[in-house]
Amino acid sequence: MNCIRLLALICFVTWRSVQTVQAFGMMTPSFAENVPNITVVAGKDVVLPCVVDNLEHFKVAWVRVDTQTILTIHTKVISRNPRVGLAQSSKRHWYLRLRNVEPSDRGYYMCQINTDPMEHSKGYLEVLVPPNIVDSGTTDGVVAREGSNVSLSCRATGHPEPNITWKREDGSEFIYNGVAVSAVESEVLQLTKASRLHMGPYLCIASNGVPPSVSQRIPLKIQFPPMLWIPNQQELAYNGQDVVLVCHIEAYPKSINYWTTAKGDMIISGDKYEAVSSDDSYRVYMRLKIRSVALADFGAYKCVAKNSLGETDGTIKLYEIANPHTTFSVTTMTIGRQTSTETAIRHAKKKERKRARPNSKRNNNNSPAIQNEVTDDNNHGDVVEDEAPQPTSGPTNYYGTVDSREQHSHSFATSTSFTSRQCCFTNILICCVAYCFIVRQFIASFSV
Ligand SMILES: *[C@@H]1O[C@H](CO)[C@@H](O)[C@H](O)[C@H]1NC(C)=O
Ligand SMILES: *[C@@H]1O[C@H](CO)[C@@H](O)[C@H](O)[C@H]1NC(C)=O
Ligand SMILES: *[C@@H]1O[C@H](CO)[C@@H](O)[C@H](O)[C@H]1NC(C)=O
C-alpha cells in the first residue's frame, strides 16, 4: 500500500517537473531582432535577415505584405519569381534573397513564425533608381526667332523624383527673367524674349542623389537677320599705301558676306584685293585689304551680308591724303589738304548717317550689350571727328538696328552750333552796351 502511494507521488512529481521544464525550458519562438529597413539601388542583390530564437519545431515564412504572397516557407521557395531565394539559412537565421532588384520590389517584407497566434516582424525595402532623361524631343536642338519666347524642356524618371537643372554647356551665365544666372532649377527653361546672346548649347542635368547624374545637351539657335557694324567709315590712305577695310557682321543663320565696289561689282581676292573673314558662332569679322592704293581706288566700298531673313550693307569711303613721307614743303601742304579733307569728311558723315537707317530692311530688338556699345562708340566717334584725321580711328556706325545713333549725333551737333551762336550773341551784347555807353557819354557832355 505504502509502496503504491510512493509510486503515485513519484509519478506526480515527475509529471509536474516535466510540465515545469516545458514551461521554462521549452520557451516559445521569438525574434532576436526586427526585420530591418533596407535601401538598395535597383539592379543590385539584397538579403533581408530574420533572426529567430527558440524556433524548435515551428517554421519561418517570408511574405510580401503588399501582395499578400508567400515567398518562402521554411527552406522551400514558394514564389515563382526566379529572383527570389533563400541564402545560407540556419535554425536561427532566415535570409530572404532578392537578386537584381527592381523598382517593383519596393515595399514591406514580413517574416512570420507559425505559432498560434502568429509571430511576425516586417521591414521596408527601398529601391533607389538613378535618374534617366526620358523626354528627348529636343535633342536636335531648338530654333527660334529673336524676340520670341522659347522654352526648353526636359523630363526625367528616377526614385526619388529627380531635380532638373539647366546650365549652359560652357558654364557661362545667361539672362533668365531679366537676371544673369548660371543655373536654373526647373523642368522647363522658359526664356522670354530670347536674344542672340542666348544662343548656344544648354545642358539639362537630372539628379536625385543616386549616382550617376545624367545630362542631355540641347543646342539653342536664335535666328535673326544680318546686322553689320563698321568701326571706321572713312579710311585715309596715300597713293601706293596698302589699306585695310573692316566690317563686323552678326547673323543667324550664317549670312553670305562679300565686298563690292561703289558700282556694286563683287570684289574677288587676287593681286589687288585680299578679302578674309573669320567667324565665331553668329559673329563674322570681315577684312578687305587693298594693296598699293592708286587714284582709281579712292571712293566707296560696301560690305554686304545676306541670309534667309534679310540683308544689309554698309559703306566705307576711302579718301586720299598726302604721302607723309614726301619731304618737300610737307607742313603747309599737309595742313592745307587735311583741312579740306576734314570738311569733306564731315559732309560725308552727315550723309552717311542719314543713310544708315534706310539701309536696314527690318526692325528688330537689339541685345542690351550691343546697345551699350553703340552708345559708347557714339561719343567717341564724335570726339574724334573734330580732331585731326586719324587713319585708324574714325566714328563707329551701326547699320540695321541702331536707332539711338542718329539722335545722339544730332544733339551733339546742335549743342556745338549753339555754343558758337552763344559766343556771337555775347559779342553783339558787348558791342551794344559799349555803344549805349558812348551815346550816353555823348548826350551827357552836351547837357553839361
Ligand atoms: C522602418 O521604417 C518604418 C517607416 O517607414 C518605421 O516605422 C520602422 O520603425 C522602421 N524599422 C526599423 C527597424 O528601422
Ligand atoms: C512672352 O512671355 C511674356 C511673359 O511671360 C509675355 O508677356 C508675352 O506676351 C510672351 N510673348 C509671346 C509672343 O508669347
Ligand atoms: C531638389 O530640389 C529641392 C528643392 O529645390 C531640394 O530641397 C533638394 O535637396 C534637391 N534634391 C537634390 C537631390 O538635389
Does residue 358 have a cis bond before it (omega within 30 degrees)? Answer: no
> Judging by DSSP bridges, how do beta strands 310-320 and 234-237 pair with one another?
parallel
Fold of 134-223: Immunoglobulin-like (2.60.40)
Ligand 2 and 192: CB distance under 6 A: yes
pLDDT band at 177 (very low <50, low <70, confident <90, very high): very high
Average pLDDT over residues 401-418: 34
- Check residue 341 and give its pLDDT: 39
* Distance from Cα 143 to the centre of ligand 2, integer Å: 17
Is the pTM of the predicted complex or chain greater than 0.85? Answer: no
Highest mean pLDDT among 77-81, 384-388, 441-445: 77-81
Q: Which of 370, 353, 193, 358 is nearest to 283 (CA)?
A: 370
**Residue 192 CA, ligand 2 centroid: distance in Å:** 6
Question: Does the pLDDT value for residue 398 go beyond 80?
Answer: no
What percent of the chain stands above pLDDT 90?
A: 58
Residues 387, 33: Cα–Cα separation, whole Å: 93
Residue 440: per-residue pLDDT: 73
For ligand 3, what atom is nearest to the CA of residue 185? 5
**pLDDT over 50 (residue 192):** yes
Record the cell numbers describing residue 189, joined without a space. Answer: 527653361
- Cis preceding-peptide flag for 253 (omega within 30 of 0): yes
The yes-or-no verdict on residue 165 having pLDDT over 90 is: yes
Probe ligand 1: pick from 33, 34, 37, max atoms within 8 Å of CB? 37
Closest ligand 3 atom, residue 160 Cα:
13
Q: Alpha carbon of 291 to those of 114, 202, 248: distances in Å? A: 103, 44, 21
What local confidence, expressed as pLDDT, does residue 390 receive? Answer: 39
Looking at domain 231-402, which CATH architecture does it have? Sandwich (2.60)
Name the more confident of 214 and 352: 214
- The stretch 388-416 carries a mean pLDDT of 36
Please provide residue 410's backbone torsions phi and psi, each rounded to the nearest 5 degrees: -60, -50
Residues ≥6 apart with Cβ < 8 Å to 203: 166, 167, 168, 169, 215, 216, 217, 218
How far is 248 from 227, CA to CA, in rounded Å?
Answer: 8
Note the pLDDT of residue 28.
Answer: 85
pLDDT at 220: 95
Sorted by sequence, the CB contacts under 8 Å of residue 218 that are 6+ apart come out as 138, 139, 141, 142, 152, 154, 201, 202, 203, 204
pLDDT tens sequence across 249-260: 999 999 999 999
Q: Is residue 359 within 8 Å of 376, Cβ to Cβ?
A: no
Give the three-class secondary structure for 215.
Answer: strand
- Which atom of ligand 3 is the closest one to the Cα of 162? 13
Which of 227, 256, 247, 218 lies closest to 146 in space, CA to CA? 227
Q: What is the pLDDT of residue 395?
A: 38
Using alpha carbons, list the distances in angstroms from residue 183 to 124, 180, 301: 36, 9, 45
User: Is the bond leading into 160 cis (omega within 30 degrees of zero)?
Assistant: yes
Ligand 3 centroid, distance to 163 Cα (angstroms): 6
Q: Which of 145, 148, 149 to mutate to test the pocket of ligand 2 (most atoms within 8 A of CB)?
A: 149
CA-nearest residue for atom 8, ligand 3, is: 163
Cα 62 from Cα 74, distance rounded (Å): 9
pLDDT tens-digit series, residues 337-375: 443 434 444 444 444 443 433 344 343 433 333 333 333
Ligand 3 pocket test target in 129, 163, 165 with most atoms within 8 Å of CB: 163
Third-level CATH fold of 24-129: Immunoglobulin-like (2.60.40)
In this structure, the residue with its CA closest to atom 3 of ligand 3 is 163
CB of 219 closer than 8 Å to CB of 209: no
Q: Residue 359 is placed in which grid cell?
A: 539701309
Ligand 2 midpoint to CA 149 (Å): 6
Q: Is 149 in the pocket of ligand 2 (CB under 6 A)?
A: yes
